[in-house]
Amino acid sequence: ATAGAARRSADGVRVNRALCERFSRRESDALVGQQRVRINGAVAVPGDRICESDTLTLDGKKVDVPRRLFHDARQDIQRGAIAARGKGELHGGGQIGEFEKVYVVYHKPVGVVCTTDESVRNNVVTACKFPRRVFPVGRLDQTSSGVLLLTSDGRLPNAALRAENKLPKVYEVAVHRAVSPADLRTLRSGVVITTVAQRDRGKARALTAATLPCRVEKLAPDRLQFTLTEGRNRQLRKMLEALGYHVTALHRSEFMGIALAGLEPGAWRLATARETRIIQRAIDVQKPAS
C-alpha cells in the first residue's frame, strides 16, 4: 500500500522536505523513489505530506521531524503563500496588507526583461502581473531563465547582492561543445574578464579582473552547474566566452538558498516562511551595529 492517496492535501510537510534535515533534496527524492520511506507503515510516494501525528520511517527506523517544519507549513497556508498558477490569485483567499513587505519568487522565462519600465516590451512587471508594485532583486539577462526575486522591500537588493555577504547563486549552463578538463579547472580557479563595475551619472566604469574561485560541476559534456558568490555583469557568459565557448542556455536554479520548487515558467508565488527567514537574515546582516 502507498500513503499517497491520503496525503495529497495542502496540510502538513512534504515528505522530501521532512527528510531534507538529514539529506539533500536530491537524496531525499531518491530515497522516496526507492520505496525506502514509509508514512504510518505505508510506502511514501513523491508529493506525500506528513502531519505531526504521523510516523515517518526510513528503512524501518523512525525519523524525527522538527516541529518548526509543521509550524512553517501552517504559516504558509494561513498566509495564502502559494499563488494559484501565478495569476495573482492567492491560494486560500490570502490577502496582503497594504504596507506589508512582500517577497515574491518568480520563474522568469526567456524573453522577459528585468526592468520596471513598463514602456519596455516584455518587462518583468507586466509579465509577472503581481497585484502590488514590486521590483526585481538583481537581474537575469533577457536570454536567461530561472528564479528571480521580486520585492517591495528596498533593503533586500543591497543585502542580497553585496559580494561580501557571499550568498550563493546556482546556475545551469549549456554550451555549444564539450568542456575540456583543463577549461573546467580554469573556470573553477578564476577567469580574467572585463565587466561594468558601477555606473556614475550614466557613465560605466569597466573592471578587468579575475573572477573569484567558484564551484563548477559537470552535468554533461556540454552542461555545467556553477555556484557563485559574486555577481558581475554577464559573468558566466563572459567567463565561458573567454575560453572559446558559446552559451546556448543559462538557467538560475537557486538564489540565496531559494529555489523554484516546481514553479512553472512565468508563474510566481510568495516566499515561504523558511525562505522569508533566509531573506530576513540577509537583511539583518546589513543593519548597523547599535
Residue positions annotated with a catalytic role: 141
Closest among 31, 3, 35 to 17, alpha carbons compared: 31
Cα torsion angle, 274, 279, 282, 283, sign: negative
Q: Three cell numbers at 76?
A: 504558509
As a whole number of angstroms, the distance between CA 148 and CA 105 comes to 6
Buried b (16+ CB within 10 A) or exposed e, 232-247: beebbbbbbebeebeb
Q: What is the maximum alpha-carbon separation in the chain? A: 66
As a whole number of angstroms, the distance between CA 29 and CA 223 comes to 22
Look at phi and psi of residue 132 and say left if phi exceeds 0, alpha if psi is from -120 to 50, else beta.
beta
